[in-house]
């Protein structure tokens, strides 16, 4: 198993490099980059133009008010050349903007400098917030980790027992009734249910039982630990519930179908013929085989909810997490944040795939990846 894990870890490097290279190449041709946005700002704001030309003695500053950062590998792409928004502006000003954002260098040079920084997790500075990208990611991480962790745990804790019960009671009233609930949960998008929760319980139109913003109440830093913990879960209740409603349906049906498939096999009939009770048959024989796919998929499910499923929920509940950070970076063409989040998400996704393979062997030791050819 160690040799298999080592091979998979080695394959992470070219896979990660290929994904970043493809996205970097695509970005080179994407319109509306930071240089074009800055040029559009200059055409409408004379004060900014004066700062860039040096009038008034002030230092050159980035959009957003911070001092100009060294470009290097901080910028991701955007072809350097003639910009539609540059018509009527001094070419020296356009060249200064390109230098400020790092686009005065050839694309391959910027790409290699970016990779050099990524080897040490140096992602540069945000083009529009003038802050280190690492600081921004670490600042937003608690929100996304909280949403991903609690929603994934609750989904598994609800879906697995419910799926097993549905398999045992297949075709009964319980199965039909819970299938209706599962169908409704599957059909309603998480963000739509989030809006409903806000209207009902967060001061929208009816009750003001839960807060609508952030992970903590103002001034909670000075509270005792247990009060802060309760306040944290109070803030997390509605966002987590919105994600759980949209996520438990698929896992419940997967659990049910896995158990139904195993219950009909010959070894289950043999176990019952030996006098084992139903609990022993289900959890002593069926459980390991039926739960192989479900338990092994836990790491991937967590990563999926953490990075892809919470964007709209974050917006509805005013939670400033990684999903919202990445979305805003894509809209504003903040390339350092875009590529940093892509790098981190891809790296975690590849590692979680390896963890998923290890989970297969933990759940069923009969699986041997070393024996595969």
Query: For the chain, how long is the longest CA-to-CA vector?
Result: 92
- Contact by Cβ (8 Å): 155, 62: no
Residue 95 CA to residue 81 CA, distance in Å, equals 9
Output the pLDDT for position 55.
43
Q: Are residues 96 and 138 in the same domain?
A: no
Q: Are residues 122 and 146 in the same domain?
A: no
The answer to whether position 2 is within a domain reads no
Please compute, for residue 184, the number of CA atoms within 13 A of its CA located in the half-sphere on the CB side: 6
Output the pLDDT for position 59.
40
Query: Pick from 74, 94, 127: which residue ends a domain?
Result: 127
The answer to whether position 365 is within a domain reads no
Torsion angles phi and psi, residue 61, rounded to 5: -130, 155
The answer to whether position 84 is within a domain reads yes
Q: Which domain holds residue 38?
A: 28-127
Nearest to 74 by CA among 164, 32, 165, 136: 136
Output the pLDDT for position 89.
60
Q: Are residues 183 and 229 in the same domain?
A: yes
Cα-based distances in Å from 201 to 73, 198, 292: 46, 5, 38
Q: Are residues 86 and 208 in the same domain?
A: no
Does the CA dihedral 7-8-10-14 come out positive or negative? positive
The answer to whether position 368 is within a domain reads no
Q: Are residues 110 and 163 in the same domain?
A: no
CATH number for the domain that contains residue 290? 1.10.3720.10
The pTM assigned to this predicted structure is: 0.70
Output the pLDDT for position 248.
81
- Contact by Cβ (8 Å): 124, 133: yes
- Contact by Cβ (8 Å): 117, 320: no
DSSP assigned state of 282: I
Q: Are residues 141 and 281 in the same domain?
A: yes
Output the pLDDT for position 285.
77
Nearest to 169 by CA among 265, 293, 289, 260: 260
Q: How many domains would you assign to the chain?
A: 2
Does the CA dihedral 316-317-323-329 come out positive or negative? positive
pLDDT per position in the chain (373 positions), as tens? Answer: 778 788 888 888 899 899 989 988 888 777 667 777 777 766 664 444 444 444 444 443 333 333 333 333 344 444 434 555 555 566 777 777 777 777 777 888 888 888 888 888 888 888 878 889 999 988 888 888 888 888 888 888 888 889 888 988 888 999 899 888 888 877 877 778 888 888 888 876 777 888 877 788 888 888 888 988 898 889 888 888 888 887 788 788 888 888 888 887 888 888 888 887 878 888 777 887 777 777 766 776 666 666 655 677 888 887 888 877 888 888 888 888 888 888 888 888 888 888 877 877 777 677 766 665 5
The answer to whether position 217 is within a domain reads yes
The answer to whether position 360 is within a domain reads no
Query: Pick from 296, 313, 332: which residue ends a domain?
Result: 332
The answer to whether position 363 is within a domain reads no
Q: Are residues 190 and 214 in the same domain?
A: yes
- Contact by Cβ (8 Å): 298, 156: yes
Torsion angles phi and psi, residue 323, rounded to 5: -60, -45
- Contact by Cβ (8 Å): 260, 170: yes
Residue 179 CA to residue 254 CA, distance in Å, equals 12
**157: CB partners within 8 A, 6+ apart:** none
Output the pLDDT for position 264.
79
The answer to whether position 173 is within a domain reads yes
Q: Are residues 187 and 325 in the same domain?
A: yes
């Amino acid at each position: 198993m160690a040799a298999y894990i080592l091979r998979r870890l080695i394959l992470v490097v070219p896979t990660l490099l290929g994904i970043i290279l493809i996205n970097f190449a695509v970005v080179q041709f994407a319109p509306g980059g930071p240089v074009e946005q800055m040029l559009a700002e200059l055409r409408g704001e004379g004060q900014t133009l004066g700062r860039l030309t040096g009038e008034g003695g002030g230092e050159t500053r980035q959009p957003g008010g911070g001092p100009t950062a060294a470009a290097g590998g901080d910028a991701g792409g955007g072809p350097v050349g003639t910009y539609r928004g540059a018509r009527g502006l001094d070419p020296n000003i356009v060249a200064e903007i390109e230098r400020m954002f790092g686009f005065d260098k050839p694309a391959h040079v910027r790409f290699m400098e970016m990779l050099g920084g990524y080897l040490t997790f140096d992602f540069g500075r945000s083009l529009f917030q003038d802050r280190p990208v690492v600081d921004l990611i670490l600042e937003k991480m608690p929100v996304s980790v909280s949403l991903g962790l609690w929603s994934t745990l609750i989904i598994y804790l609800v879906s697995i027992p419910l799926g097993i019960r549905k398999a045992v009671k297949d075709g009964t009233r319980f199965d039909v009734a819970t299938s209706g609930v599962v169908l409704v949960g599957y059909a309603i998008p998480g963000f739509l249910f989030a809006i409903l929760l806000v209207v009902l319980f967060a001061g929208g139109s009816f009750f003001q039982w839960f807060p609508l913003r952030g992970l903590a109440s103002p001034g909670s830093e000075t509270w005792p630990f247990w009060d802060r913990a309760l306040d944290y879960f109070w803030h997390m209740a509605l966002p987590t519930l919105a994600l759980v409603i949209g996520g438990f349906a698929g896992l419940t049906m997967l659990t049910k179908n896995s158990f139904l498939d195993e219950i009909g096999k010959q070894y289950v009939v043999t176990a019952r013929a030996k006098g084992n009770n139903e609990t022993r048959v289900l959890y002593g024989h069926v459980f390991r085989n039926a739960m192989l796919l479900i338990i092994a998929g836990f790491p991937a499910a967590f990563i999926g909810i953490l990075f892809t499923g919470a964007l709209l929920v974050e917006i509805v509940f005013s939670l400033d997490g990684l999903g919202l950070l990445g979305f805003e970076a894509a809209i504003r063409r903040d390339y350092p944040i875009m590529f940093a989040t892509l790098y981190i998400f891809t790296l975690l996704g590849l590692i979680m795939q390896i963890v998923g393979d290890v989970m297969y062997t933990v759940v069923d030791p009969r699986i041997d990846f070393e024996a595969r050819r």
